[in-house]
Chains A and B, each alone.
Chain A
């Protein structure tokens, strides 16, 4: 089995684990002794960027000569999450995720192809610990996230002219993060992410630094 498939399989397992975690969180709520004191509720905005590595096999024309491949990109993410008074959090995520590119000569002419995507995902996240431990405990600062939605894929071909191709694919994302408090409303986070676009068979692993801002609280 290829390494990329192993990683993808692991990410899929993680994705399902997250969905199960979400279900568990709901189940645990039934025995939550704080059920009569709801809140606080917060809206948290995360903005981040980092590096990504395209983890699937590249599709490159056999005629490409002197080809150079690029699997590394600089992704950016914007996420808005609703943090309710239980473990499961819900939100939307979008951003820019470079996939891959290649360049070389085909039939004596220069050729360049780049592929990137804009995911729009419904995201669930969950801290590893909720009511247990202290604010400083590692488990409270670690969280898992999973999302599903659409990937708006764009490809640009420069070869005897330029073509910008577009398509939409269903896809998913799985992530794990560590969040470090900075002050009352700001935190910094490091997140490891796996983006997967199904129809185009694209998947990217990313490491991002994020600024997490508690925008609203009630």
Chain B
């Protein structure tokens, strides 16, 4: 009997102890043609807002926020519609279908807290007195915009009804929605890798107004984006290389290492060039993961701040100081002019550095008195890295922070845009 118990215990350990590998494929292939198809600027503006979910609320919650974003490729602008929900960090990414003569959107939805995903297809219409008609570009009193269509699971064709009814405009209050690791974590099974160029391009579609990126140096002193201190299979594809990132030159990494979804490890310069040339992001937080001199990062920061000014971009690039070592590296800089910083340490250190941004960790609580005191001194206060939905909701509804850094920027976007003054 005892032996049988041991056998059962062992078999249970085998069955439940084996690591399951999760995978989420994007079930929709984007056409990504420049422009927005039939969705004119006026239409896009009219569409943005908070919508009630009348069909599909069981999967996506009772209301959602719709926002258009775009990416830039040279002179081309490509528009995407994001739908942010408050349930399971679900979001939709859609595009205007060029092969339709009506206002049709197609794309996919995904829940970040699990692996649920599927296709979606919606048509923009107008409702009036229970009647539905095609949106012609003009609304008269009594008209209500609606998006009607269907969603499906995984690669199945969308058949489950989904109906969204316009309720009110998005909350227009300024707020920074900062996406962790350039947009999201690799562990959340997004289609692109964390701290990659492609993730920076995706960040806006995930609701971000800014990104936090992790900066390290290679052996030959090239600042790159990489979170962990070692090469490992959490972040990169298997290639035989292991050990500290700092032991490899940029040439060696570039030739042999690919991030988990196949991208190269980008340099800091490539990342900032992408932010300016391809996105509408307005904030970049350079998280200091290295120990050592800060002068190279400072020089790059200043170069790209100038580039942003020349491009007439409202873009803030700040160096994050998460530790006393980083503070010392900052203090050691010969010239601190035009070097915006963000301090993650306490208010006294923030004041002593004259940092214009204070960023305490969210687990320290609302810290209402300290936050108000810092804001009274004309400092900005962000909180990091907040992924808990109830606290995201609480911190946004209380409205004291100027922004939230999160792995679930879609959720921060939902709570911010649906917040009523």
Which residues of chain A have C-beta atoms less than 8 A from B252's C-beta? 157, 159-161, 163
Q: Of the candidates B3, B244, B249, which one forms a contact with A165 in the assembled complex, judged by CB atoms under 8 Å apart?
A: B244
Which residues of chain A have C-beta atoms less than 8 A from B13's C-beta? 16
Given contacts A24-B6, A200-B242, contact A159 B255 (CB under 8 A): yes
Which residues of chain A have C-beta atoms less than 8 A from B237's C-beta? 59
Say yes or no for B233: interface residue by CB 8 A criterion: yes
Closest to A62 in B: B258
Minimal beta-carbon separation of B121 from chain A (angstroms): 35
Is the CB–CB distance between B239 and A61 below 8 Å? yes
Is the CB–CB distance between B243 and A165 below 8 Å? yes
Say yes or no for A63: interface residue by CB 8 A criterion: yes
Task: List the one stretch of A100-108, A173-181, A209-217 in contact with chain B.
Answer: A100-108
Given contacts A155-B243, A167-B232, contact A111 B255 (CB under 8 A): yes
Is the CB–CB distance between A27 and B3 below 8 Å? yes
Say yes or no for A68: interface residue by CB 8 A criterion: no
Say yes or no for A139: interface residue by CB 8 A criterion: no
Say yes or no for B230: interface residue by CB 8 A criterion: yes
Say yes or no for B34: interface residue by CB 8 A criterion: no
Say yes or no for B238: interface residue by CB 8 A criterion: yes
Is the CB–CB distance between B6 and A23 below 8 Å? yes
Is the CB–CB distance between B241 and A155 below 8 Å? yes
Is the CB–CB distance between B18 and A166 below 8 Å? no
Say yes or no for B251: interface residue by CB 8 A criterion: yes
Interface flags for B226-237 (1: CB within 8 Å of A; 0: not) read: 000011110001
Which residues of chain A have C-beta atoms less than 8 A from B238's C-beta? 57-59, 200-201
Is the CB–CB distance between A13 and B232 below 8 Å? no
Say yes or no for B10: interface residue by CB 8 A criterion: yes
Is the CB–CB distance between A61 and B255 below 8 Å? yes
Interface flags for A31-54 (1: CB within 8 Å of B; 0: not) read: 000000000000000000000000
Given contacts A20-B7, A161-B249, contact A63 B255 (CB under 8 A): yes
Give complex CA distance A167, B241 in Å: 10
Say yes or no for B2: interface residue by CB 8 A criterion: yes
Closest to B220 in A: A161
Minimal beta-carbon separation of A105 from chain B (angstroms): 10
Q: Of the candidates B2, B240, B244, which one forms a contact with A102 in the assembled complex, judged by CB atoms under 8 Å apart?
A: B240
The A102-136 residues at the B interface (CB cut-off 8 A) are 102, 106-107, 109, 111, 113-115
Say yes or no for B173: interface residue by CB 8 A criterion: no
Give complex CA distance A17, B219 in Å: 46
Which residue among B6, B219, B256, B258 has the maximum number of chain A CB atoms within 10 Å of its CB? B256
Is the CB–CB distance between A12 and B242 below 8 Å? no
Give complex CA distance A16, B2 in Å: 16
Which residues of chain B have C-beta atoms less than 8 A from A17's C-beta? 10
Minimal beta-carbon separation of B250 from chain A (angstroms): 10
Say yes or no for A153: interface residue by CB 8 A criterion: yes
Give complex CA distance A16, B7 in Å: 9
Say yes or no for B11: interface residue by CB 8 A criterion: yes
Say yes or no for B248: interface residue by CB 8 A criterion: yes
Is the CB–CB distance between B231 and A165 below 8 Å? yes
Closest to B8 in A: A20
Give complex CA distance A161, B240 in Å: 16
Is the CB–CB distance between B255 and A165 below 8 Å? no
Is the CB–CB distance between A166 and B242 below 8 Å? yes
Say yes or no for B369: interface residue by CB 8 A criterion: no
Which residue among B7, B11, B13, B232 has the maximum number of chain A CB atoms within 10 Å of its CB? B7
Which residues of chain A have C-beta atoms less than 8 A from B247's C-beta? 163-165
Minimal beta-carbon separation of B163 from chain A (angstroms): 42
Minimal beta-carbon separation of A66 from chain B (angstroms): 14
Say yes or no for A19: interface residue by CB 8 A criterion: yes
Closest to A17 in B: B10
Given contacts A157-B256, A201-B233, contact A113 B6 (CB under 8 A): no
Give complex CA distance A58, B240 in Å: 8
Given contacts A13-B14, A16-B14, A201-B233, contact A59 B249 (CB under 8 A): no
Which residues of chain B have C-beta atoms less than 8 A from A160's C-beta? 249, 251-252, 255
Is the CB–CB distance between A199 and B233 below 8 Å? yes
Minimal beta-carbon separation of A106 from chain B (angstroms): 4
Which residues of chain B have C-beta atoms less than 8 A from A107's C-beta? 255
Is the CB–CB distance between B230 and A163 below 8 Å? no
Is the CB–CB distance between B239 and A16 below 8 Å? no
Is the CB–CB distance between B14 and A166 below 8 Å? no
Q: Of the candidates B3, B14, B248, which one forms a contact with A24 in the assembled complex, judged by CB atoms under 8 Å apart?
A: B3
Given contacts A61-B256, A163-B243, contact A12 B233 (CB under 8 A): no
Closest to B233 in A: A201
Which residues of chain B have C-beta atoms less than 8 A from A115's C-beta? 240, 242
The B359-373 residues at the A interface (CB cut-off 8 A) are none
Given contacts A59-B239, A59-B240, A155-B242, contact A19 B10 (CB under 8 A): yes
Give complex CA distance A161, B2 in Å: 59
Which residue among A27, A58, A62, A163 has the maximum number of chain B CB atoms within 10 Å of its CB? A163
Q: Of the candidates B7, B240, B242, which one forms a contact with A100 in the assembled complex, judged by CB atoms under 8 Å apart?
A: B240
Which residues of chain A have C-beta atoms less than 8 A from B249's C-beta? 160-161
Give complex CA distance A62, B13 in Å: 37
Given contacts A16-B14, A19-B10, A167-B232, contact A113 B243 (CB under 8 A): no
> 10 A-B contacts, Cβ less than 8 Å apart?
A59-B239, A111-B256, A114-B240, A115-B240, A155-B241, A157-B252, A160-B251, A161-B249, A161-B252, A200-B242
Q: Which A residues are within 8 Å of any B CB, using their own CB?
A: 12-13, 16-17, 19-20, 23-24, 27, 57-63, 100-102, 106-107, 109, 111, 113-115, 153-155, 157, 159-161, 163-167, 199-201
Given A24-B3, A165-B244, 15 more A-B residue pairs with CB atoms under 8 Å apart are A12-B18, A16-B14, A19-B10, A20-B7, A27-B3, A59-B240, A61-B239, A61-B256, A63-B255, A100-B240, A160-B252, A160-B255, A161-B249, A167-B230, A199-B233
